[in-house]
Amino acid sequence: MKPPVHVHKRPLFLYGLLILLLMGAAACGGSDTPPDNTSSAAPTGQDGLSEAQLENGIGPITQIDLPAAIDAAKVAQGEEIFTTKCAICHKLDERFTAPPLGDVLSRRTPEFVMNMMLNPDEMVQKHPEVKAMLAEYFVPMPNQNVTEDEARAVLEYLRDNQTETTDAAQ
């Protein structure tokens, strides 16, 4: 019964083409419909995420206020957590299994950094910047089960160890 199998090939290809065309049409149709202006809902940006999510990541941290002064106790706590839970993949000053974090705060907001620690699965699946990093590093950052307080302490450690220039970090 070979001929029927053969006959199937072309329609399958055509279905693929049709799907692509339909997707294209849907995308165009989408931009034609006016956005529904419901209250404060931010307009969706890339990948269906809000501008806030693109900026601050996806997760429990939407806004944090950082005092200018560094909290030494938090830095010490954060360093310990970083050493046990992060340093296996991340270095501060050079690329390793994962991106260097010594200049991460010049690239990302503090909220983004905390959401990466607290909600890496969703960040990896949905955030375009993180998806791009995954394509480069091939390892999806695993959930390290840090609490919000612990993530805040690691953030303080990272704040205390940021390099001035970003060029040197590569």
Contact residues toward ligand HEC (CB under 6 A) are 85-86, 88-90, 97-99, 101, 104, 107-108, 113, 116-117, 124, 130, 133-134, 137, 139-142, 144, 146, 154
Residue number, 90 or 152, with CB nearest to ligand HEC: 90
Q: Which residues of 94-127 are buried (b: 16+ CB within 10 A; e: fewer)?
A: eeeebbbbbbbbeebebbbbbbbbbbbebbbebb
Residue number, 32 or 164, with CB nearest to ligand HEC: 164
Residue number, 18 or 76, with CB nearest to ligand HEC: 76
How near is the Cβ of 89 to ligand HEC at its closest, in Å? 3
Find all residues with CB under 8 Å of 170, minimum gap 6, and list them. 95
- Assess contact for 121 and 130: CB atoms under 8 A: no
User: Taking the CB of residue 153, how many other CB atoms lie within 10 A of it?
Assistant: 23
Residue number, 44 or 97, with CB nearest to ligand HEC: 97
Rg (CA), the chain: 22
Residue number, 35 or 128, with CB nearest to ligand HEC: 128
Pseudo-torsion of CA 153, 158, 159, 160, nearest 10°? Answer: 90
How near is the Cβ of 163 to ligand HEC at its closest, in Å? 14
How near is the Cβ of 85 to ligand HEC at its closest, in Å? 4
Give the separation between CA 63 and CA 34, rounded to whole angstroms.
29
How near is the Cβ of 42 to ligand HEC at its closest, in Å? 21
How near is the Cβ of 16 to ligand HEC at its closest, in Å? 30
